[in-house]
Amino acid sequence: MNGLIVFDFDNTLVHSKIDFIGIRRELLDMLTRSGHPDASADGLADRLTRLSIGEIIDVGSLHESTFHDEAWRIVLEYETAGMVAATVEPDAASTLYGLRDLGFTLAVMTNNARPATLAALDLFGLRLAFDLVLTRDEVPMKPDPAGIAKAMTTFDAPAERTVMVGDSWLDGRAAASASVPFIGFRPRPGILDERGVAYWTIVEQLGELVPLLTGPWPKAGGRSI
Protein backbone atom coordinates (compact mmCIF):
# COMPACT_ATOMS: atom_id res chain seq x y z
CA MET A 1 0.00 0.00 0.00
CA ASN A 2 1.38 3.36 -1.09
CA GLY A 3 -0.66 5.16 1.56
CA LEU A 4 -4.19 5.58 2.92
CA ILE A 5 -6.19 8.64 1.83
CA VAL A 6 -9.38 9.40 3.76
CA PHE A 7 -11.66 11.77 1.86
CA ASP A 8 -14.47 13.92 3.13
CA PHE A 9 -17.57 13.60 0.96
CA ASP A 10 -19.80 16.68 0.78
CA ASN A 11 -18.18 19.81 -0.68
CA THR A 12 -15.01 17.84 -1.34
CA LEU A 13 -16.03 15.18 -3.87
CA VAL A 14 -19.65 16.11 -4.50
CA HIS A 15 -21.81 19.12 -3.80
CA SER A 16 -25.11 17.84 -2.51
CA LYS A 17 -26.71 21.28 -2.09
CA ILE A 18 -27.72 20.45 1.47
CA ASP A 19 -29.10 23.57 3.14
CA PHE A 20 -26.85 23.45 6.20
CA ILE A 21 -27.93 26.95 7.22
CA GLY A 22 -31.53 25.78 7.19
CA ILE A 23 -30.67 22.71 9.28
CA ARG A 24 -28.87 24.78 11.88
CA ARG A 25 -31.71 27.31 11.99
CA GLU A 26 -34.29 24.61 12.64
CA LEU A 27 -32.17 22.92 15.30
CA LEU A 28 -31.51 26.18 17.11
CA ASP A 29 -35.22 26.99 16.95
CA MET A 30 -35.90 23.60 18.52
CA LEU A 31 -33.47 24.39 21.33
CA THR A 32 -35.15 27.73 21.92
CA ARG A 33 -38.60 26.13 22.11
CA SER A 34 -37.28 23.48 24.51
CA GLY A 35 -36.06 26.16 26.90
CA HIS A 36 -32.40 25.18 26.71
CA PRO A 37 -30.32 27.70 28.68
CA ASP A 38 -27.76 28.11 25.87
CA ALA A 39 -30.52 29.16 23.47
CA SER A 40 -30.53 32.69 24.87
CA ALA A 41 -29.12 35.46 22.67
CA ASP A 42 -25.76 35.31 24.44
CA GLY A 43 -25.66 31.53 24.27
CA LEU A 44 -26.30 31.50 20.54
CA ALA A 45 -23.50 34.00 19.94
CA ASP A 46 -20.94 32.49 22.28
CA ARG A 47 -21.51 28.76 22.06
CA LEU A 48 -24.11 27.16 19.84
CA THR A 49 -23.23 28.87 16.58
CA ARG A 50 -19.69 27.47 16.79
CA LEU A 51 -20.84 23.88 17.17
CA SER A 52 -21.22 21.35 14.38
CA ILE A 53 -24.68 20.03 13.57
CA GLY A 54 -23.93 16.79 15.39
CA GLU A 55 -22.72 18.69 18.43
CA ILE A 56 -25.89 20.83 18.49
CA ILE A 57 -27.96 17.65 18.46
CA ASP A 58 -25.89 16.22 21.31
CA VAL A 59 -26.52 19.39 23.34
CA GLY A 60 -30.26 19.20 22.71
CA SER A 61 -30.42 15.47 23.46
CA LEU A 62 -28.89 15.99 26.90
CA HIS A 63 -31.56 18.57 27.65
CA GLU A 64 -34.61 16.77 26.24
CA SER A 65 -34.91 13.05 25.47
CA THR A 66 -37.14 13.53 22.39
CA PHE A 67 -34.76 16.01 20.76
CA HIS A 68 -32.42 13.40 19.25
CA ASP A 69 -34.84 11.53 17.00
CA GLU A 70 -36.69 14.62 15.81
CA ALA A 71 -33.44 16.46 15.07
CA TRP A 72 -32.03 13.62 12.98
CA ARG A 73 -35.35 13.32 11.13
CA ILE A 74 -34.97 16.96 10.11
CA VAL A 75 -31.35 16.45 9.06
CA LEU A 76 -32.26 13.40 6.94
CA GLU A 77 -35.00 15.36 5.16
CA TYR A 78 -32.54 18.11 4.25
CA GLU A 79 -29.93 15.55 3.13
CA THR A 80 -32.40 13.73 0.90
CA ALA A 81 -33.54 16.98 -0.70
CA GLY A 82 -29.94 18.09 -1.18
CA MET A 83 -29.05 14.95 -3.18
CA VAL A 84 -31.65 15.74 -5.82
CA ALA A 85 -29.59 18.68 -7.06
CA ALA A 86 -26.16 17.20 -6.37
CA THR A 87 -23.19 17.97 -8.60
CA VAL A 88 -19.70 16.49 -8.67
CA GLU A 89 -16.22 17.97 -8.75
CA PRO A 90 -15.18 17.73 -12.43
CA ASP A 91 -11.89 15.98 -11.67
CA ALA A 92 -13.18 13.73 -8.86
CA ALA A 93 -13.34 10.48 -10.85
CA SER A 94 -10.02 10.96 -12.66
CA THR A 95 -8.26 11.86 -9.42
CA LEU A 96 -9.69 9.01 -7.36
CA TYR A 97 -9.09 6.30 -9.93
CA GLY A 98 -5.69 7.78 -10.72
CA LEU A 99 -4.69 7.52 -7.06
CA ARG A 100 -5.90 3.92 -6.98
CA ASP A 101 -3.78 3.14 -10.02
CA LEU A 102 -0.78 4.52 -8.14
CA GLY A 103 -1.37 2.05 -5.31
CA PHE A 104 -3.15 4.23 -2.77
CA THR A 105 -5.95 2.86 -0.61
CA LEU A 106 -8.99 5.16 -0.53
CA ALA A 107 -11.67 5.64 2.09
CA VAL A 108 -14.48 8.19 2.28
CA MET A 109 -15.76 9.42 5.63
CA THR A 110 -18.87 11.57 5.94
CA ASN A 111 -21.29 12.87 8.53
CA ASN A 112 -24.11 12.12 6.08
CA ALA A 113 -26.34 9.04 6.30
CA ARG A 114 -25.25 5.90 4.43
CA PRO A 115 -28.17 5.59 1.95
CA ALA A 116 -27.77 9.15 0.69
CA THR A 117 -23.99 8.79 0.50
CA LEU A 118 -24.08 5.57 -1.51
CA ALA A 119 -26.74 6.98 -3.84
CA ALA A 120 -24.55 9.98 -4.67
CA LEU A 121 -21.41 7.87 -5.10
CA ASP A 122 -23.28 5.58 -7.50
CA LEU A 123 -24.82 8.52 -9.36
CA PHE A 124 -21.38 9.89 -10.22
CA GLY A 125 -19.57 6.58 -10.67
CA LEU A 126 -17.32 7.04 -7.65
CA ARG A 127 -18.30 4.16 -5.40
CA LEU A 128 -15.90 1.62 -6.90
CA ALA A 129 -12.99 3.98 -6.29
CA PHE A 130 -13.26 3.42 -2.55
CA ASP A 131 -12.06 0.51 -0.49
CA LEU A 132 -14.14 1.68 2.48
CA VAL A 133 -17.19 3.94 2.91
CA LEU A 134 -17.79 5.28 6.43
CA THR A 135 -20.88 7.32 7.31
CA ARG A 136 -22.52 8.48 10.52
CA ASP A 137 -24.36 5.15 10.52
CA GLU A 138 -21.09 3.29 11.15
CA VAL A 139 -18.81 5.68 13.05
CA PRO A 140 -19.15 8.76 15.28
CA MET A 141 -19.42 12.04 13.42
CA LYS A 142 -16.45 14.29 12.76
CA PRO A 143 -14.65 15.94 14.47
CA ASP A 144 -14.47 12.60 16.28
CA PRO A 145 -11.45 10.77 14.79
CA ALA A 146 -12.99 7.30 15.14
CA GLY A 147 -13.62 6.98 11.39
CA ILE A 148 -10.00 7.70 10.54
CA ALA A 149 -8.88 5.26 13.22
CA LYS A 150 -11.20 2.57 11.82
CA ALA A 151 -9.83 3.05 8.31
CA MET A 152 -6.25 2.85 9.59
CA THR A 153 -7.03 -0.33 11.52
CA THR A 154 -8.90 -1.90 8.60
CA PHE A 155 -5.94 -1.49 6.25
CA ASP A 156 -3.14 -1.63 8.83
CA ALA A 157 -2.06 1.84 7.74
CA PRO A 158 0.47 3.77 9.85
CA ALA A 159 -0.19 7.41 10.75
CA GLU A 160 2.81 8.58 8.75
CA ARG A 161 1.24 7.14 5.57
CA THR A 162 -2.35 8.25 6.22
CA VAL A 163 -3.82 11.60 5.23
CA MET A 164 -7.23 13.28 5.55
CA VAL A 165 -8.58 15.46 2.72
CA GLY A 166 -11.56 17.73 3.31
CA ASP A 167 -13.06 21.20 3.07
CA SER A 168 -14.07 21.69 6.70
CA TRP A 169 -12.42 22.46 10.01
CA LEU A 170 -14.21 19.33 11.26
CA ASP A 171 -12.06 17.24 8.89
CA GLY A 172 -8.91 18.98 10.08
CA ARG A 173 -9.80 18.55 13.75
CA ALA A 174 -10.46 14.84 13.19
CA ALA A 175 -7.11 14.47 11.41
CA ALA A 176 -5.27 16.19 14.25
CA SER A 177 -6.96 13.96 16.82
CA ALA A 178 -5.94 10.90 14.80
CA SER A 179 -2.37 12.24 14.48
CA VAL A 180 -2.40 12.27 10.68
CA PRO A 181 -1.72 15.16 8.24
CA PHE A 182 -4.61 17.19 6.86
CA ILE A 183 -5.01 18.65 3.38
CA GLY A 184 -7.60 21.39 3.11
CA PHE A 185 -9.69 21.31 -0.06
CA ARG A 186 -10.91 24.79 -0.92
CA PRO A 187 -11.88 25.66 2.69
CA ARG A 188 -13.69 28.85 3.53
CA PRO A 189 -10.95 31.52 3.64
CA GLY A 190 -9.47 31.90 7.11
CA ILE A 191 -11.63 29.24 8.80
CA LEU A 192 -8.78 26.80 9.47
CA ASP A 193 -6.64 29.45 11.13
CA GLU A 194 -9.66 30.79 13.01
CA ARG A 195 -10.36 27.34 14.40
CA GLY A 196 -6.68 26.63 15.11
CA VAL A 197 -6.58 23.72 12.65
CA ALA A 198 -3.12 22.78 11.39
CA TYR A 199 -2.80 21.63 7.80
CA TRP A 200 -0.24 20.25 5.39
CA THR A 201 -1.41 22.47 2.56
CA ILE A 202 -4.53 23.75 0.81
CA VAL A 203 -5.50 22.66 -2.70
CA GLU A 204 -8.06 24.23 -5.02
CA GLN A 205 -8.49 21.27 -7.39
CA LEU A 206 -8.58 17.56 -6.58
CA GLY A 207 -6.10 16.87 -9.37
CA GLU A 208 -3.43 18.67 -7.34
CA LEU A 209 -3.42 15.70 -4.97
CA VAL A 210 -1.70 13.34 -7.41
CA PRO A 211 1.66 15.15 -7.65
CA LEU A 212 1.43 16.20 -3.99
CA LEU A 213 0.87 12.73 -2.57
CA THR A 214 3.50 11.09 -4.73
CA GLY A 215 6.09 13.41 -3.17
CA PRO A 216 7.39 13.60 0.42
CA TRP A 217 4.79 13.54 3.20
CA PRO A 218 5.01 15.68 6.35
CA LYS A 219 4.40 14.65 9.92
CA ALA A 220 0.86 15.04 11.26
CA GLY A 221 -0.15 18.63 11.84
CA GLY A 222 2.56 19.94 9.56
CA ARG A 223 1.91 23.10 7.56
CA SER A 224 3.65 23.59 4.24
CA ILE A 225 5.93 26.59 3.92
Give the chain's residues under pLDDT 50: 43, 45, 222, 224-225
Can you spell out the DSSP letters for the chain? --EEEEEP-BTTTEE----HHHHHHHHHHHHHHHT-GGGSHHHHHHTGGGS-HHHHHHHHHHH-TTHHHHHHHHHHHHHHHHHHT-EE-TTHHHHHHHHHHTTEEEEEE-SS-HHHHHHHHHHTT-GGG-SEEE-TTTSPPTTSTHHHHHHHHHTT--GGGEEEEESSHHHHHHHHHTT--EEEESPPTTHHHHTT---SEEESSGGGHHHHHTS----TT----
Q: Give yes or no: residues 118 and 71 share one domain.
A: no
pLDDT at 135: 96
Q: Does 224 fall in a domain?
A: no
Q: What is the mean pLDDT of the chain?
A: 89
User: Could you tell me the CATH number of the domain that includes residue 135?
Assistant: 3.40.50.1000
Q: Does 221 fall in a domain?
A: no
Domain count, the chain: 2
Q: What is the distance between the alpha carbons of residues 13 and 15, in angstroms, rounded to a whole number?
A: 7
Q: Give yes or no: residues 72 and 135 share one domain.
A: no
Range of the domain at 143: 3-15+86-213
Neighbour tally for 107: CB within 10 Å: 23
Q: Does 225 fall in a domain?
A: no
Contacts of 16 (CB under 8 A, 6+ apart): 10, 79, 82, 83, 85, 86, 112, 116, 120
pLDDT digits (tens, 9 = 90+) for 167-186: 999 999 999 999 999 999 99
pLDDT at 32: 81
Q: Does 28 fall in a domain?
A: yes
The model's pTM is 0.78
pLDDT at 174: 97
- Measured on CA atoms in the order 178, 180, 185, 190, is the torsion positive or negative? positive
pLDDT at 42: 55
Q: Does 157 fall in a domain?
A: yes
